[in-house]
């Protein structure tokens, strides 16, 4: 068995759901990304602009690296919607994926009998993960901008292990299977999908409730509806998820917590507004929802309650 086959088998053995290999180099989607930045569609996410040059070529962040093992990990889309996006209902995925990628690097070193240099990325470095995953044969870019796998949909995390080890890459995913479907564009509550494959983050509910530190614009607040943290609408309506999305994990770090998986947005909003900083730190220890900070969650909670009052 080739080293590539053994490496991917090891990745699956560590708990990842899919694995592919890509060669590092110029990023195909970099021109579109540059246009997106130039149009200001990144909003307050200045870190994307600061790292734009590094994102143009995957060899730039870690000189000497030549290959990447790209992995995906399902978090489950076949569960009821609610005020919290599905990916954030369990523990923070970063640590889990880093640990598994570090274990994969340890295996590579043991297998090769030398200290192969490597670096794990889980959406925290200056790389365009979706582009790398497509290059590794793991899916295509949907009209909702998500990476879609033909047998899994899009409810998964993406990680990558960069290696200085030359590897034979998998064939890139070149097909596009959205066809004439526009369900995601039609369903977006804030019309954040301004064109097929183009997201204006400034209008996206996930951005407004997670990344942005500013007040939710009055013109968009009603459309935020009952979303306390994130939004899954453009994924929920995707036919590939309707057919293939996996159920949420029943146990382990990504298993949804009951109090974050309910459908009563009002109850969660009131609980958040009653929290002080100490309670927040205790309640959200190990959660990806700390990304929004207490101030952001309470901002979102106030918007949700205002929307509920406006519909009664």
Count of other CB atoms within 10 angstroms of residue 35:
11
Helix (H) or strand (E) holding 23: strand 18-23
Query: What is the number of structural domains in the chain?
Result: 1
pLDDT tens string 196-221: 999 999 999 999 999 999 999 999 99
- Surface-to-core class of residue 43, CB atoms within 10 Å of its CB (0-12 exposed, 13-18 middle, 19+ buried): middle
In this prediction, residue 310 carries a pLDDT of: 74
Is-contact 209 228, C-beta < 8 A? yes
Closest to 297 (Cα-Cα) out of 212, 222, 203: 212
Closest to 193 (Cα-Cα) out of 238, 146, 144: 144
Please identify which residue in the block is written with the tokens 């994924």. 235
Structure tokens at 184: 């995601």
* Enzyme catalytic residues: 123
**Residue numbers in the chain where pLDDT is lower than 70:** 311-312
Beta strands in 134-278 (DSSP E): 140-141, 147-148, 156-163, 193-195, 198-199
3-class SS of residue 275: coil
In this prediction, residue 312 carries a pLDDT of: 40
In this prediction, residue 311 carries a pLDDT of: 55
In this prediction, residue 309 carries a pLDDT of: 87
Q: Which residues contact 286 (CB under 8 A, 6 or more apart)?
A: 91, 92, 95
Give the domain extent around 45: 1-312
Q: Report how far residue 295's alpha carbon sits from residue 305's, in angstroms, rounded to the nearest whole number.
A: 15
Q: Report how far residue 77's alpha carbon sits from residue 63's, in angstroms, rounded to the nearest whole number.
A: 37
Q: Report how far residue 68's alpha carbon sits from residue 162's, in angstroms, rounded to the nearest whole number.
A: 4
Nearest 5°: the CA angle 52, 228, 270 is: 145
Count of other CB atoms within 10 angstroms of residue 48:
19
* CA torsion through residues 12, 18, 22, 27, sign: negative
Helix (H) or strand (E) holding 67: strand 67-74
Count of other CB atoms within 10 angstroms of residue 268:
23
* CA torsion through residues 187, 192, 198, 199, sign: negative
Half-sphere exposure of 63 (CA within 13 A, CB side): 0
Q: Which residues contact 195 (CB under 8 A, 6 or more apart)?
A: none
**Checking DSSP bridges between strand 140-141 and strand 147-148, what pairing results, if any?**
antiparallel
């Amino acid at each position: 068995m080739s080293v590539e086959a053994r490496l991917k088998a090891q990745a699956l053995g560590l708990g990842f759901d899919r694995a592919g290999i890509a060669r590092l180099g110029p990023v195909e989607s970099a021109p579109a990304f540059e246009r997106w930045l130039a149009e200001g569609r990144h909003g307050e996410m200045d870190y994307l602009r600061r790292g734009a040059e590094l994102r143009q070529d995957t060899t730039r962040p870690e000189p000497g690296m030549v290959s990447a093992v790209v992995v995906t990990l399902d978090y489950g889309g076949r569960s009821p919607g609610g005020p919290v996006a599905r990916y954030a209902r369990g523990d923070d995925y970063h640590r889990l994926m880093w640990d598994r990628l570090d274990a994969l690097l340890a295996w590579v070193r043991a297998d090769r009998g030398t200290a192969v240099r490597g670096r794990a990325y889980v959406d925290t470095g200056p790389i365009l993960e979706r582009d790398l995953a497509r290059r590794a044969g793991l899916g295509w870019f949907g009209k909702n901008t998500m990476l879609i796998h033909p047998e899994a949909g899009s409810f998964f995390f993406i990680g990558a292990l960069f290696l200085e080890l030359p590897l034979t890459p998998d064939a890139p995913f070149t097909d596009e299977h959205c066809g004439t479907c526009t369900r995601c564009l039609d369903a977006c509550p804030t019309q954040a999908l301004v064109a097929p494959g183009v997201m204006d983050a400034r209008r996206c509910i996930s951005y407004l409730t997670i990344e942005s530190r500013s007040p939710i614009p009055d013109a968009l607040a009603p459309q935020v509806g009952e979303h306390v943290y994130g939004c899954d609408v453009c994924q929920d309506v995707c036919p590939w998820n309707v057919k293939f999305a996996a159920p949420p994990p029943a146990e382990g770090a990504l298993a949804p917590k009951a109090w974050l998986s309910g459908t009563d947005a009002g109850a969660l909003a009131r609980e958040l507004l009653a929290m002080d900083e100490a309670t927040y730190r205790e309640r959200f220890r190990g959660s990806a929802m700390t990304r929004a900070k207490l101030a952001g969650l309470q901002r979102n909670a106030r918007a949700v309650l205002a929307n509920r009052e406006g519909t009664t």
